[in-house]
Chain A
Amino acid sequence: MRAGLLAEPVEGLDEALAAVDAFDRALVAGLLRPQPAEDTGPTPLADAVAGTPLAARVAEAAAKAAAGAADEDHFVALAAARTALLGSVHDALLNRVEEATGRSRGAEPAPPAGGQPAANLLTAARAWLSDLARGGWQGLDHEVVSGAAEVVSVMLPDPSLRRLATLLDGFAAELAASCPGASMERFPVRRWADLWSRGMLLTVPGAAGTPVTGTADGRLLPLGIDVQEHATAAQAQVHAVFEPADGSAPRLVRASVSVPKPDTVVGAGIWQLLRPHMSLLAAAGEGRSMDLTGMPVTAEGDLIWSDEHARPGTPAEAFTTARVALPTAAAPVTAPLDRHPARIAVPVFLEGYTARTDDDGVLTFTVAGFDLVVDTDRIPAAGPLTPEAVARSGACIALIRWDAGTFGVQPLAVETTVRKKVASVHAGAWAGGTADKAGVRAEKAATDAAKVLSERAGRLLRK
């Protein structure tokens, strides 16, 4: 990998982020009050999209917001402008990653999303987000925040509304934990503006669709499992190389499974909830390929998994896949609305690096003379991979990510050498279950917790 490219400046990045930051700071104080100056608040956002089809609507929205008189449609326009701008940042960063890794991108453009609008729920969600924007993070109180609860409760049972429901649920929990806003010393300024803008966009009917564009037939070679979670939801994503049966070029794909959860279901408990719905988790955990027949897939390279389209294949060690198949696999294109720097997660194989841990516990790989920070905090606790193992490793399967101005890597698996024998350790090794002693203990604790909750639910919920 030409890691040095990741350190070079990206043209236009600072200017784009400056416009984003100006808007994000306005959300701290709230959009109900007039903005103090021309170069603050939403105006730079409007300037940044002046040459695009969004120009007129965003200029109007910014003017209204600057005067403290924006309505819900104006908020949607501002969220769209911010999303478009960060979409361009995503594209520039991803180009850089592809240059550095030598990966080519598929050409298939993602189709526009379509879907069933559930208009009244989307309107309710938009009203809540608009209230938040008016009062700003400094104006947060329990009354404003609790407005999300009912919307989320009604949305969660409907799988087609899961994207917005899950986002709002995680967002509202953070806001609730930060009340009252007036006594907060600092705010996660970009993060909350990200979550707010995403939520706003997803209230546009059809925005959350993930259209299936084809089916996949061939061999799936897992690379590793990425876990994401907030207090009341979790998602596992398997990154894999797909080799089509028709002999066409191999490509990178993902398979995801997600579920809402009570906040007391953590660690191994998350695997227990997800495991029964995707046989691929066990296959990835034990280093096995899967053979797919007619598996639905989106233009973004997301397999819409269902076990009936997959059966276990031959053993396939992830590090062999990473060394042999990964370099030639083409990456899919990101769906237009999903383009955001936080969405960047490019699988990469690293070796020949030196690892060092500084006094604050921050681990850095020096790859071809260039430092890459290793995000060890993302390694799920319910697995055998530890920051210490990553620090001792000689080879690593990772996801390249970008956050807060820099590229970094998230380890999915490492190879370590113990008494001249190479052993691999995978973050997702416990996904399908484990015989590991610590793993068995974690599984038992999770089973006990789940048992208590379902017993209580059975006794109390349907009375």
Chain B
Amino acid sequence: MSDWERSSTARVIPPARPRKLAKVPFVELADGRLQGVVSSGSDIGRVYVSSVATGTYAFACSTNNNRPCGGARGYFCNHIGALINEAVLQYGAERVVRYLKAEVPEGDVDGAGLASAMRSTRPPMDETKAAASVFSRFLRHLAYLEHAPVTAPLPEMQFFPPTRAVA
């Protein structure tokens, strides 16, 4: 076995890179989708739940109350564009491209380049109605702020050293 395979502290996922959260408070690569939550530009109480599926790039965008986004009829809307941009900031372009199985031109790619590469395949609307589950994952994510710190030691964290490597 290689050293990496024999290591108890092998790094498997690079940490999220810091980014501004105001526009897109939540983005993740999960459930076979790039998915997340985008703040509405006009109404502070409203958020959009947006997603792009791996492989097919099937996309969806609606409010958390399941009202469809007016901009996402047939095309990626601005919310989806913002979601892709922030995913690239948080995870690095390579990981996002790999997860979505996107075909992008050789060389460095940014969020806009990735979005246009997927858009050019004329992806379908996603009819799976995943908004509710994505939104509940966002709430679960926010709930992490509510857990109290403890001062009893967690010996298990010895298996999770930090890394300076970035995505």
Contact = CB atoms under 8 A, between A and B. Distances in A.
Contact of A259 (B7, B15, B149): B149
B108 to A, nearest CB: 22
Bin the interface of chain B by size: 35 or more
Interface string B40-54: 000011010000000
Contact of B144 (A178, A235, A260, A445): A260
Contacts, number: 225
Contacts of B90: 264
B121 interface: no
B5 A188 contact: yes
Interface string B13-28: 1011111111001100
A191 B155 contact: no
Interface stretch (B71-79, B109-117, B135-143): B135-143
B12 A177 contact: yes
Interface of A: 21, 142, 146, 149, 153, 156-157, 159, 162-163, 166-167, 170, 173-174, 176-178, 186-191, 194-195, 198, 202, 210, 227-235, 237, 254-264, 266-267, 269, 273-274, 277-278, 298, 300, 302-306, 335, 338, 340-343, 345, 375-381, 387, 403-405, 445-446, 448-450, 452-454, 456-457, 459-461
B162 interface: yes
B15 A266 contact: yes
B156 A198 contact: yes
16 contacts: A167-B156, A188-B12, A190-B1, A190-B10, A198-B159, A229-B160, A237-B153, A256-B153, A259-B148, A261-B144, A262-B144, A274-B149, A341-B8, A343-B155, A345-B158, A461-B139
B2 to A, nearest CB: 7
Given A342-B9, A452-B21, A377 B165 contact: yes
Given A378-B162, A404-B3, A452 B142 contact: no
B146 interface: yes
A257 B143 CA distance: 19
Contact of B153 (A173, A229, A254, A377): A254
B32 interface: yes
B4 A188 contact: yes
A162 B6 contact: no
Given A231-B16, A342-B8, A459-B45, 11 more contacts: A162-B154, A188-B4, A189-B1, A191-B159, A194-B159, A231-B15, A263-B16, A378-B161, A448-B22, A449-B21, A461-B146
A452 B44 CA distance: 12
A162 B144 contact: no
Interface in B22-39: 22, 25-26, 29-32
Contacts of A256: 151-154
* Most chain A CB atoms below 10 A, which of B7, B31, B147, B162: B162
